[in-house]
Amino acid sequence: MTVIVREIRPDVRADLEGFAAVRHGALPFHLITADSLAYDMAHFHPDARYRPLLAENVEDGEDGDDREDREDREDREDAEGESSESAGRGGIIGSAQVGLIHEAPEPGQAFVNVYVHPDATRRGAGTLLVRAAEEYLAAQGATRLLSWVLDTPGNRAFAEAHGYRASRSAHFLRLDLAQGTLPPLQDPPPGVELRTAADFADDPRPLFALDAETTADEPSDAGAELTDYEAWLEETWRHPLIDLDLTVVAVVDGRPAAFTAARTDGVRHYGSGMTGTARAFRGRGLAKLVKNHSLHRARAAGYTEAFTGNDTGNGPMLAINKWFGYEVCATEVRYVRELG
């Protein structure tokens, strides 16, 4: 068997499912589906030059045409009702998210996040993915690469061997919605009204303004400025994982003051996309208020696991999540490499 790296084909379901399967295996705390990946590829801002890559095991002597013919046959078998567990997917062992950070105020910054399925490590897939990603990004004008790496000795050694240096870290946190005990619901304080994002369906611009303000204050190596409303609509508001009914907003004097964005896989997993409070309303407990109501709604809707992530230096948000019952389940380290 030989490992090759190639671009994902957005119109081939086996590629999308293979990419998602690798991510589920390597990073089960992050929501992704074949449909959400297809949406991302179709709606990422063109300035991001987004290019997902796959690492695949192929038979020695098999070229790209042979592989596509094989996958076509397997797709036909599936359509005829025959079981084909691999279906062009079993050979996919690695994935990479690759693109430019177009929202960053400083140009030339890019991201490359590489994951190999735990059952397929030490076959060279990670190195091939990193090499292909770096070559592509350098050709797009990238000068600084940012990568999230799971905090294990092997993964950290791999990143450092490829010239990356650690800069900061973040925790993944998990909450058992099925068996855990959420804090009791609290009524909003006087002058505060709770709504859902669905209530802003006719005009979500006030939520865009709130998201932009809170995103600007998030810990980041690259910085982020949300200024493109139409791009936000495509990449965030209309994303297939966003759940507008579970996204809760605290409104003060008609103005959105705090929110928690909910993302779900539509089955059992709930993820916090972002929780933030406008600067003028911080210190009032609004972040706890909106997140608690969202989690209660999620449990009532049948979701059994909740995931979130916090920078290890973000003490206030870590304390809030501990209050809810979240526990750290993994840590990632942000690694940086300067090109040229």
- Cβ(114)–Cβ(108) under 8 Å? no
Specify the pLDDT at position 220: 64
- pLDDT classification of 222: cutoffs 50, 70, 90: low
If you average pLDDT over residues 331-339, what whole number do you get?
97
- pLDDT classification of 140: cutoffs 50, 70, 90: very high
Domain of 291, in residue numbers:
175-331
Q: Are residues 183 and 313 in the same domain?
A: yes
Residue 285 lies in a domain: yes
Residue 299 lies in a domain: yes
3-class DSSP assignment, residue 90: coil
Residue 27 lies in a domain: yes
For residue 248, give the nearest of 218, 306, 289 by alpha carbon: 289
Residue 336 lies in a domain: no
Q: Phi and psi of 305, rounded to 5°?
A: -135, 140
| Domain tally, the chain | 2
Measure the CA–CA gap between 251 and 183, rounded to whole angstroms: 21
Residue 159 lies in a domain: no
Q: Are residues 129 and 20 in the same domain?
A: yes
For residue 237, give the nearest of 262, 219, 271 by alpha carbon: 262
Q: Are residues 198 and 137 in the same domain?
A: no
Q: Are residues 190 and 237 in the same domain?
A: yes
Owner of token pair 């992530």: 309
Structure tokens at 148: 């999230």
Of residues 257 and 180, more confidence is placed in 257
Mean pLDDT lowest among 101-110, 182-191, 304-313 = 101-110
Please give the full DSSP string across 15-33, using - where no structure is assigned: HHHHHHHHHHHH-TTS---
Q: Are residues 83 and 195 in the same domain?
A: no
Q: Across all residues in the chain, what is the average pLDDT?
A: 90
**Residue 242: DSSP 8-state:** B
Q: Are residues 233 and 138 in the same domain?
A: no
- pLDDT classification of 89: cutoffs 50, 70, 90: very low
Q: Are residues 180 and 321 in the same domain?
A: yes
Q: What is the pTM of this model?
A: 0.86
Measure the CA–CA gap between 23 and 234, rounded to whole angstroms: 23
Specify the pLDDT at position 317: 86
- pLDDT classification of 189: cutoffs 50, 70, 90: very high
From 119, 142, 165, give the residue that closes a domain.
Answer: 142
Specify the pLDDT at position 340: 73
11 pLDDT more than 80: yes
150 pLDDT more than 60: yes
Structure tokens at 324: 């809810």
Q: Are residues 121 and 245 in the same domain?
A: no
230 pLDDT more than 70: yes
Q: Are residues 52 and 200 in the same domain?
A: no
Q: Are residues 180 and 119 in the same domain?
A: no
From 142, 158, 190, give the residue that closes a domain.
Answer: 142
For residue 124, give the nearest of 76, 158, 73 by alpha carbon: 158
Specify the pLDDT at position 63: 54
Owner of token pair 């779900």: 264
From 142, 157, 188, give the residue that closes a domain.
Answer: 142
Residue 251 lies in a domain: yes
67 pLDDT more than 90: no
Structure tokens at 69: 């013919």
Q: Phi and psi of 62, rounded to 5°?
A: -90, 125
- pLDDT classification of 74: cutoffs 50, 70, 90: very low
Mean pLDDT lowest among 69-73, 105-109, 189-193 = 69-73
* Pairing between β-strand 144-150 and β-strand 305-311 as defined by DSSP bridges: unpaired
* Identity at 75, one-letter amino acid code: D
* Identity at 307, one-letter amino acid code: F
Residue 158 lies in a domain: no
Residue 149 lies in a domain: no
80 pLDDT more than 80: no
Measure the CA–CA gap between 109 and 103, rounded to whole angstroms: 10
Mean pLDDT lowest among 48-52, 110-114, 218-222, 292-296 = 218-222
Q: Are residues 185 and 317 in the same domain?
A: yes
3-state secondary structure the chain: CEEEEEECCCCCHHHHHHHHHHHHHHCCCCCCCHHHHHHHHHHCCHHHCCCCEEEEEECCCCCHHHHHHHHHHHHHHHHCCCCCCCCCCCCEEEEEEEEECCCCCCCCEEEEEEEECHHHCCCCHHHHHHHHHHHHHHHCCCCEEEEEEECCHHHHHHHHHCCCEEEEEEEEEEEECCCCCCCCCCCCCCCEEEEEHHHHCCCCHHHHHHHHHHHHCCCCCCCCCCCCHHHHHHHHHCCCCECCCCCEEEEECCEEEEEEEEEECCCCEEEEEEEEECHHHCCCCHHHHHHHHHHHHHHHCCCCEEEEEEECCCHHHHHHHHHHCCEEEEEEEEEEEECC
Q: Are residues 324 and 184 in the same domain?
A: yes
CATH code for position 299? 3.40.630.30
